[in-house]
Structure 1
Amino acid sequence: MTLVFVETDESGQVALTSAEALTFARTNADVFAGSVLEAAVIGTLSESAHSQLAALGVDRIHHLESADLEAYSATAWAQALVDIAPETGAVLASGTPRGMELMTHVAVRTGERMAANVVAADEEGLLRQVLGGAAFERLQLGGDLQVLTLAGHACNPEETTPTTPEILSHSPESAAEDLRTRVVRTEVETAADNDTAGLTQARAVVGAGRGVGSENGFGEVLELVDHLGGALGVSRVVTGLGWRPHSEQVGQTGSRITPDVYIACGISGAIQHMAGIEGAKTLIAINTDEESTMVQRADYAIIGDLHEVVGAVNEEIRSRRG
């Protein structure tokens, strides 16, 4: 059996990263010795989430809801997962901050090893990202239960023949010591600080780095974003300089993206940034330095000043659209 911890958003929808984890678990059922796919949802289980889980091939849904679990507590939530975890098979979550924290506690409480940022699995073991995605490590966890997190966008979520999931309701009571640390207050972020969905789900992303020159140098890039109906992604140095908000940052400490096309404008290609764009299907670089990592890794590269190149592209698009 494979148990997947599922995160949902404020509207009750299954998070994209959790849909990826479910797809990964389903398509690697033979590796985890578990033909039964189970999902664990803590808190509200909406009709929409139920339908999504069915479409993703879930056989059984564990719905955990109690007063002790209303506020997030890593230790209490992890113990609730341990209580329903299989003796053999796998327990996994997406590699979000919450997923990583919970799987760490699950591993400790079950006495099992844990693998983080897994990208593939086969009969030889697990493959995971290390060094910010600059290298990969092959490992075998051993033991009867494998505990792991899936790297963001390591696979595309894919629906299958809808199932009719059995729903098992649980009302766990947590030990007092497991409730010593929990969320006591949540502050709502502004839209500018919290709106990363557009970036992570965009099919076209235009990236901007130090090469834009200044806080006021994004004009041409933003116009191209408009033309493509895409999203703007920036490097860490750009947010570090205060030119753009952190929600737009792409990379190891920002968002990991999987667009059909990523156009990197004035970005040299630091390891941390490359880790965030490795899922891009086509990479186009615009840079004055033909020796930069971004240019060397790109499918297509244009050597030149980004303002001139992007400006010319925008002008051509406007001309063709009349």
Structure 2
Amino acid sequence: MILALVEHERGLPAEASLEALTLARELASVEGTDLDAAAFGGDGSALADELGTYGVDTLHHVDHDDLDGYAPEAWGESLGQLVEEIDAGTVVVPSTDRGHEVAAHAGVTLDAPMATNCVAVEVDDAGAYELERHRWGGSLLEHARLTGDRKVISAAEHEFPVTPADEATAPTVTEFTPSLEADHLRVRVDRVEASDEEGIPLGEARVVVGGGRGVGGAEEYDQLEELADLLGGTVGASRAAINDGWRPHDDQIGQTGAKISPDIYIACGISGAVQHMVGCKGAETILAINTDPEAAIIQKADWAVVGDLHEVVPELNDALRDSA
């Protein structure tokens, strides 16, 4: 059996979890076994109809009086107990901070090997997994072989397009109550504070306009904001611009910031360092605007304009306004 961990917000599955579920379904098909899913929290059981679209056979709703908020060790222990209860052979989680944290604790509980950020998984004749996975923030592709009676893997974000199953299912919903001790709850979320971020979150935007040090200053982002508004998108920034205090950290795109997957990413005045490219590699199309034809971002972009962004972006804005 393959078990996928599904993160959700009030009963709506997160996109990264659906990507992981797509990988889990592929493995279940190859191994000729069932595809199950696990969800935590009071709204977890509400996921059944949605997950049936992706071929889930059984949804295990993990609930407990002490699991009303996120507690990494308790979640990991609970997931480990569920795996043993249903005798799942592989656990697939999304490559999110929470997914990795829970999987690490579950791996300890199960004494199972764990491989993160997988971009491809094949099953050999011995039942081992031949893996390709991102290392060093995506700058290195590693090949590895994972063996064991139980395995824990995470699906790298934006590497497994979310696709429905050929035939939808009607998942059975089961309730699972783990046995927890006080030590499992020594770290837990105490409260959640609303972000002051406005507009479309970077991770959800279909159009992102990014600005780097080449923008020249905080006030110069006005023209990028206008371009994003005209295209129905949002504005992001490189780490250099964040470090200079031109934009809030919520706007950072890169290894230590947001990972984006828009239809188009317009990178303005950004050099294209490896750490930044890790954050935008999920973009369908990259348009780079830069004065340096040798800039790394130019070499990696699908389309490029070699020119001054302070001339190019206003022209784009004028053209978009005229065509509206």
TM-score range, shorter chain: over 0.9
Task: Report the CA distance between 1:49 and its aligned residue.
Answer: 2.2
Indicate if the aligned counterparts of 1:266 and 1:286 stay in contact, CA closer than 8 A: yes
For 2:6 and 2:48, locate their aligned partners in 1 and report how far apart those are by CA, in whole Å.
11
Q: Which one of 49, 70, 73 corresponds to residue 72 of structure 1? A: 70
SS at match of 1:157: coil
Q: Structure 2: which 5+ residue stretches go unaligned?
A: 125-129
Task: Report the CA distance between 1:242 and its aligned residue.
Answer: 2.1
For 1:301 and 1:43, locate their aligned partners in 2 and report how far apart those are by CA, in whole Å.
46
For 2:212 and 2:281, locate their aligned partners in 1 and report how far apart those are by CA, in whole Å.
17
Indicate if the aligned counterparts of 2:112 and 2:148 stay in contact, CA closer than 8 A: yes
Q: Structure 1: which 5+ residue stretches go unaligned?
A: none
For 1:296 and 1:302, locate their aligned partners in 2 and report how far apart those are by CA, in whole Å.
11
For 2:123 and 2:276, locate their aligned partners in 1 and report how far apart those are by CA, in whole Å.
31
Indicate if the aligned counterparts of 1:196 and 1:247 stay in contact, CA closer than 8 A: no
For 2:248 and 2:50, locate their aligned partners in 1 and report how far apart those are by CA, in whole Å.
32
Task: Report the CA distance between 1:151 and its aligned residue.
Answer: 1.7
1:228 aligns with 231
Indicate yes or no: 2:155 matched with 1:162. no
Indicate if the aligned counterparts of 2:17 and 2:93 stay in contact, CA closer than 8 A: yes
Q: Give RMSD over aligned pairs.
A: 1.9
Q: How many residues are aligned here?
A: 316
Task: Report the CA distance between 1:48 and its aligned residue.
Answer: 5.0
Q: Which one of 284, 288, 291 corresponds to residue 288 of structure 1? A: 291
Percentage of pairs with the same residue: 42
For 2:159 and 2:213, locate their aligned partners in 1 and report how far apart those are by CA, in whole Å.
28
SS at match of 2:201: helix
For 1:63 and 1:87, locate their aligned partners in 2 and report how far apart those are by CA, in whole Å.
16
Indicate if the aligned counterparts of 1:57 and 1:159 stay in contact, CA closer than 8 A: yes
Deviations 1:21-60 (A, max 9, x none): 11121123245x3531111111113575222111121110
1:24 aligns with 23
1:246 aligns with 249
Indicate if the aligned counterparts of 1:34 and 1:89 stay in contact, CA closer than 8 A: no
Give the TM-score normalised by structure 1.
Answer: 0.92
Task: Report the CA distance between 1:191 and its aligned residue.
Answer: 3.1
For 1:42 and 1:166, locate their aligned partners in 2 and report how far apart those are by CA, in whole Å.
16
Indicate if the aligned counterparts of 1:68 and 1:173 stay in contact, CA closer than 8 A: no
SS at match of 1:216: helix
1:105 aligns with 105
- Amino acid across the alignment from 2:122: D
For 2:243 and 2:87, locate their aligned partners in 1 and report how far apart those are by CA, in whole Å.
46
Give the TM-score normalised by structure 2.
Answer: 0.92
1:89 aligns with 89
1:297 aligns with 300
